[in-house]
Amino acid sequence: MGTLRVLIVGGSNFVDYPAGGIKYFLRNILKAVDMTDLEISLAGLTTNPDEKVGLWSKREIDSRVFPFIPVYLQKKLGSDEKPNVPIRVGMLMGLWRNKHRLQMKLFDVLYIHCSELVLPFLIPRREVSIVFHWHEVIRKVALNSRYAFFRNKFAAELFYQINKLVLKKSDRVLTISEEGYRLCSSILPDRKDRFTVVPACVDTKLFRPMDKAVVRKAHGFLSSRTILFTGRLERLKGLDLLLEAFALVNKEYKDAQLLLAGEGMERRRLEAKTRTLGLDSHVHFLGEVKHDGVAEVMNCADVFALTSLSEGCPSAVLEALACGLPIVSTNVGHISKIVKDGETGFIVNGRDPQAFANALAKGLEMGKSMKDNCVKKANHYSTKGIAKSIVDALRGTYESKK
């Protein structure tokens, strides 16, 4: 078995920009992967004008150093700002412009994480294996884009056709969720054997139960009825439902509080809605929390809430479970495989605020009894296990084409 040369293509700088689950997913994998007989290089964007686009440099991730080529320069913006050119579009153009530099290195496998970023390697197609990891559900992503010109049926259909082409032309497709697998299979039923579920993972050394009294005192959140959301404050997260449900919870539990950790285009509107609902003193917008500080914030809470319209396998849910928090979530993506009613939380079908509020109340009442089950479930998604599954898929794809 020779050395496998892999290029990972992602729409981030692999360090701190932009916010999003795919970046943390890749960082977790890169920290945990067994590098025996494996050479990994990275292609992404840079926010540093001194790091030259199109020239190979290096990225250090958890003391590991990887060859890195930035194909696109993106000015770092605040989380309530959006680039004039969507990052995915900029990355797509950057890959096309710099494809010859990538092809000068002889890679065995391309491991790619956005459907659009596969396109430059299909036209013309080279003799290199392509493994695409699908993180999203097609039409909902387009219809809830932060860019208004994408929120229409034409754009959604175009995005669908791009994904269909990529699914058809990739040598192997890994889906982040069972929902993704079912969708892939419905689009291309004769190619089911090329689709495999490989979910997100969690660093259980970083995310673990802590002494609640200690972390609550340190952060100033002293209520024993604390609900938490962590993630981007964007349309796709459906946070109106969470605020409306929390307003109902707060009528029953006057000391309840809601923590929203994250930034995004929706923050100002959500703050205004909080004031309209009369929840100013109970809802706390924490802003962006550094990833290595999220575990402490999670340990201040009693329940983790997710009201997304669409998800794959959200890393934040696995991180919350690893900290011993039960999950109350809409029924999206891989959630039904993670959350079992009364064991690791509660799933709410539909988007009724009263139904979601009832589930939150149950979570607050039963949270302590579910703690051990939550931690046990998170351990099934360890970084080492998921990293091995990915390497096995990459190597198996390459070997099958030899």
Are residue 189 and residue 264 in the same domain, yes or no?
Answer: no
Domain range holding 359? Answer: 212-379
Report the alpha-carbon distance of residue 383 to residue 391 in Å, rounded. Answer: 12
Residues 132 and 226 in one domain: no
Query: Is residue 371 located within the same domain as residue 356?
Result: yes
In terms of domains, do 219 and 168 share one?
no
335 and 191 co-located in one domain? no
Whether 207 is covered by a domain: the verdict is no
CA dist., res. 233 & res. 126, Å (int): 39
pTM: 0.89
User: pLDDT tens, 287-332?
Assistant: 999 888 999 999 999 999 999 998 889 999 999 999 999 999 999 9
Sequence-ordered list of residues with C-beta below 8 angstroms from that of 137, at least 6 positions apart, any chain: 179, 180, 183, 310, 312, 333
CATH number at residue 233: 3.40.50.2000
For residues 117 and 197, state if they share a domain. Answer: yes
Q: Residue 60 and residue 85: Cα distance in Å, rounded?
A: 28
- Region 390-402: mean pLDDT is 92
Q: 178 with 240, same domain?
A: no
131 with 219, same domain: the answer is no
pLDDT in tens, 100-119: 899 888 899 999 999 999 99
By DSSP bridging, strand 4-9 and strand 57-61 are unpaired
159 shares a domain with 234: no
170 lies in a domain? yes
Rounded percentage of the chain residues whose pLDDT exceeds 90: 78
Statement to judge: residues 83 and 167 lie in one domain:
yes
Judge whether 348 lies within some domain.
Answer: yes
- Same domain flag for 375 and 393: no
392, 343: one domain: no
pLDDT of residue 140: 59
Confidence of residue 136 (pLDDT cuts 50, 70, 90): confident
At residue 126 the predicted structure's pLDDT band, cuts being 50, 70 and 90, is confident
Q: How far apart are CA 155 and CA 306, in angstroms?
A: 26
Is the per-residue pLDDT at 391 higher than 60?
A: yes
Task: Look up residue 342 and give its amino acid.
Answer: G
First to last CA, the chain: 12
**Per-residue tokens: 2:** 């020779």
Torsion of CA 26, 31, 32, 34, to 10 degrees: 100
Residues with Cβ within 8 Å of residue 122, at least 6 apart in sequence:
130, 165, 166, 169
- Asked if 319 and 294 touch (Cβ cutoff 8 Å), the reply is yes
**Counted domains in the chain:** 2
Q: Is the pLDDT of residue 212 over 80?
A: yes
